[in-house]
Chain A
Amino acid sequence: MVERKSPVRKISFAMLVILIVLFCIFPFFQMLSMSLKYQWDWGNPSLIPTQLNFEAYKELLNIDQGVKNVPESIINLLEENPDLTKDQRNTILDKYRESGDVFPFMRYFGNSLALAGIAALLSVFIAILGAYALSRLNFPGRSTINRGVLFVYMFGGILLLIPLYKLFVGMGLLSAPGGAFTSLLVIYLVQTLPVSLYMLGNFFRTIPFSIEEAAMIEGASRIVIIFRIIIPLSISAIVTVYIYAFMIAWNEYMFASVFLKGFPDLYTLPMGLKELFVSKNAVWDRIMSASVLTATPVIALFMLIQKNLVSGMSEGGVKE
C-alpha cells in the first residue's frame, strides 16, 4: 500500500509503537533494576540504581559466599592456628555456612532443569513415533486420535489435579522423594505430549513423500526411514518442539506445589520462589534477582527458536 502520511500521523504512530513496547517490557526493566538496587534505594522510583548492588546475585549463585556468615573472631582463630588440618577448618566453617544457606537457588534450578529436560526429551521421542504414524500411515482410528489430541486442549489442570493426586497417593508414590519426582515427571510428559504430537505431525506432513518412497523402493523399512530420513530432515522442528515442551514444564507451578509439598529438596524454581516470597527471607533484591535468573534461560531459548515456534504456534500448536 502506498500512502502519503502527514507528520502528525507518523509521530502518533511512532508513539503508539513506543507505548506498546514499554507496556510489554516495563516489568522486565523493573525487575532487573530492583535486583541491582540496595535496600536504601528501593523507594527511589527511578529505574536506574543509584549504586549497583550485585550481592543478591552472588548469594544466589553462591559466589564469594565462603566466609560471609562466619564471625570475625572465628576467622582470626583459624588464622592464628595454621597447624589445623584442612578437614578441621572445613568442619568449623561449615557450622556457620549452613545458617547462611537461606535460599538454595542452585538446587531448585537443578531440579527444574532435570525435570523439564527429561520430561521434554521423553515427550519429544514418544511424539516423533506417534506423529509419524498419524501423519503418514493409514490405520483405522487415525482420525479419531487426531481429533482427540485437539480435544485434550480443553481440560484445565485443575480437573486433573485431584484425581491424579489421589491415584499417585494410592500407588504409594508420594511418600518418597523418588516417587514424587517420577510422578511429576510423568505428569509433565503427558502435559506436553499433545502439543508435541500436534506440532510434529504438522511438520512431518510438509516433508515430501517422494523422499521416503525412494528409500522404500531400495528396501528401507519404516523404522529405518523415521531414524534416517524423517528425524534428520526435521531436526530444527524437533528442537523447537523440545524447547517448547521444556518451557511448559519449566514454568509449571500447580502440580509441583501439590506433588512436592513434603520434599523441600526437590522444589522446582516456581515452587522455591513462591516459598521464598512468603518466608522471612523475602527481600526485594533477592526475589528480583531470582526472577531474572529464572526468566533468562527461557527467554534465551525462546530467542533461539523464535521463528520456528511462531510458525508452529500459528498452525495451532499451543498449550496453556
Chain B
Amino acid sequence: MKSLVQSPGLDFHKREVYLGWGLVFPSVFIILSLILYPIVYNIFLSFFDVSLGSSNTYIGLENHKNVVSDVFFWKALMTTIIYVVCTTLGTTLVGLIVALVMNKEFPFRGLVRSLVLFPYVAPVISVVFSWQFIFDPVNGIVMDVLVERLGILSDRVNLIGSPSSAVWVAILFSIWKNFPFTYLMILSRLQGIDQGLYEAAEVDGASGWEKFRHVTLPEIYFITGSIILLRVIWNFNKFDEVFLLTGTNVKVLSVYTYYKAFVGTMEMGQGSALALIQFILLIGFILFYVRKVLKW
C-alpha cells in the first residue's frame, strides 16, 4: 500500500509523521496545559501558604499535617467511603437487575429503554429540587407516606436537613441518577452473549439461576468489574450531585475541599493538600483494584 501511494520525490512517511503531530498538537497542548500542568501545580501549591493577592510562602509539609490532624478530615473520609461503597454497590446491583429485565422481550420495550435513561441525561440541577421536594418535611410525599399513611414515623422530619440522614438520601439519589449508565453497559454486553451457550446449558438441565451463575455472570464479569472501577473513581470525586442536593450537610472529601478552599478564610494551600491526598488515595485504590480484581 505504501509503495502505491508513495510518489517519487517526497518522503511519504516523514510527511505523515509531521502531519500527524500537527493535527494532534492542539488537543495535546490543551490537555497538557489545562489538565496535566494544573495537577503538577496543585502538588506545588500544597507546599505553600497560598494567598491570592501577594506571593506564596513555602511552608513545607505544614498544610498536609494540618489537614491530616483535623478530625473533620477523617469524618469527611469516612463519609466518602460510606458514600462510595453504598452508591457503587447500589448502582451496580440496580443496573444489573434492570439490564437483565430489559434484555427480555416485552411490549413497549423501546420506549421503556429510553425512559430508563432519563435520570442519567437530565442535568443534576434540574432534578435536585424535585428530590428536595419529595423529601420536604411539610409537603413532600415521603413524609406523607411514612407519617400519615403507614405511621412508621410519628413526626415529620427533614431527612436532607440533618447530616446523618442526608448521606442516605444522597446515596439513593446517586443510585437513581447513575444506574442507567451501568445498565447500558451491562445490557450491551448481554446482547453480545452467544445464545448457543444458554441452549447448551438448558440441554444439561440448568435452572434459571444456574444459567445466570455459570453463563451470564462469567460473560459480564469483566465489563461489570470495569464499570465498578469507573463508578468508584467518579463517585470518589463526586461534587455536584452531593453539594447541590444536600448543600454542606454531607461533607464528602470533594465538598470538604471546596468548602476549605472557597468559603470563609479560603485556605487554598490546605485545599490543594486535601485534593492531593484524595488523589493519592484514589490512585492507590486503582492500582490495587486493577491487579486484584481485573487481573491485568
- A35 to B: closest C-beta gap in Å: 10
Which of A52-60, A72-80, A164-172 has 4 or more CB atoms under 8 Å from chain B?
A164-172
Q: Are B35 and A313 in contact (CB under 8 A)?
A: no
Q: For the complex, is B209 an interface residue (Cβ under 8 Å from A)?
A: no
CB–CB A45/B278 < 8 A? no
Which of B181, B188, B238, B286 is in CB contact (< 8 Å) with A154? B286
Residues of A within 8 A of B45 (CB): 162-163, 166
Cα distance A194–B36 when bound, in Å? 13
In the complex, A250 Cα to B138 Cα: how many Å?
Answer: 32
- Is B20 on the interface with A (CB-CB < 8 A)? yes
Distance of A155 Cα from B123 Cα, bound (Å): 21
Chain B residues with CB under 8 A of A217: 4-5
For B122, the closest partner residue in chain A by CB is A295
Task: Name the A residues within 8 Å of B134 (CB-CB).
Answer: 26-27, 30
Bound: A190/B34 CA distance, A: 7
* B129 A287 Cβ-Cβ under 8 A: yes
Q: Within the complex, what minimum Cβ distance (angstroms) separates B133 from chain A?
A: 6
B28 engages A270 (CB within 8 Å): no
Classify chain A: how many residues form its interface, as a range. Answer: 35 or more
Q: Which positions 134-182 of chain B face chain A at CB distance < 8 Å?
A: 134, 138-139, 141, 144, 176, 178, 180-181
Considering the complex, which residues of chain B in the window 1-54 have a beta carbon less than 8 Å from any beta carbon of chain A?
Answer: 1, 4-5, 13, 16-17, 19-24, 26-28, 30-31, 34-35, 38-39, 41-42, 45, 50, 52
Complex contacts, A132 vs chain B, CB 8 Å: 23
Kindly provide the distance from the CB of B121 to the nearest chain A CB, expressed in whole angstroms.
4
Q: Is B67 an interface residue (CB 8 A)?
A: no
Nearest Cβ in chain A — how far from B136, in angstroms?
8
Closest chain-B Cβ to A213's Cβ sits at a distance in Å of: 7
A residues near B112, Cβ cutoff 8 Å: 17, 20-21
The one of A1, A26, A137, A269 in contact with B125, judged by C-beta atoms closer than 8 angstroms, is A269
Does A294 sit within 8 A of B, measured CB to CB?
yes
Decide yes or no: A156 and B240 within 8 Å by CB, A139-B16, A294-B123 being known contacts. Answer: no
Given A158-B239, A291-B125, check contact A193 B27 (CB 8 Å).
yes
- Measured between beta carbons, the chain A residues less than 8 angstroms from B27 are 126-127, 129-130, 193, 197
Determine the distance from Cα of A31 to Cα of B131 in the docked complex, in whole angstroms: 9
Contact A216 B5, beta carbon cutoff 8 Å: yes
Please pick, from B17, B35, B118, the residue contacting A139 in the complex, using a CB distance under 8 A: B17
Which one, A1, A163, A165, contacts B195 given CB within 8 A? A1
Nearest-CB distance from A11 to chain B (Å)? 12
Q: Which of A123-160 contact B (CB under 8 A)?
A: 126-127, 129-130, 132-134, 137-142, 145, 148-149, 152-160
Determine if A155 and B125 form an interchain contact, defined as CB atoms under 8 angstroms apart: no
CB–CB B31/A152 < 8 A: yes
With contacts A163-B41, A291-B130 known, is A189 near B30, CB below 8 A? yes
**A-B contact list, 24 entries, CB within 8 Å:** A13-B101, A20-B101, A21-B115, A24-B119, A24-B176, A27-B130, A129-B24, A133-B19, A134-B24, A137-B17, A139-B20, A142-B24, A158-B237, A158-B278, A162-B268, A163-B42, A165-B268, A222-B16, A253-B243, A254-B258, A273-B126, A284-B139, A299-B118, A313-B185
List 6 A-B pairs, minimum CB-CB distance, nearest first.
A156-B237, A139-B20, A130-B27, A137-B20, A295-B126, A133-B23
B residues adjacent to A (C-beta < 8 A): 1, 4-5, 13, 16-17, 19-24, 26-28, 30-31, 34-35, 38-39, 41-42, 45, 50, 52, 98, 101, 104, 106, 112, 114-119, 121-127, 129-131, 133-134, 138-139, 141, 144, 176, 178, 180-181, 184-185, 188, 195, 198-199, 230, 233-234, 236-240, 243-244, 253-254, 257-258, 261-262, 268, 271-272, 275-276, 278-279, 282-283, 286
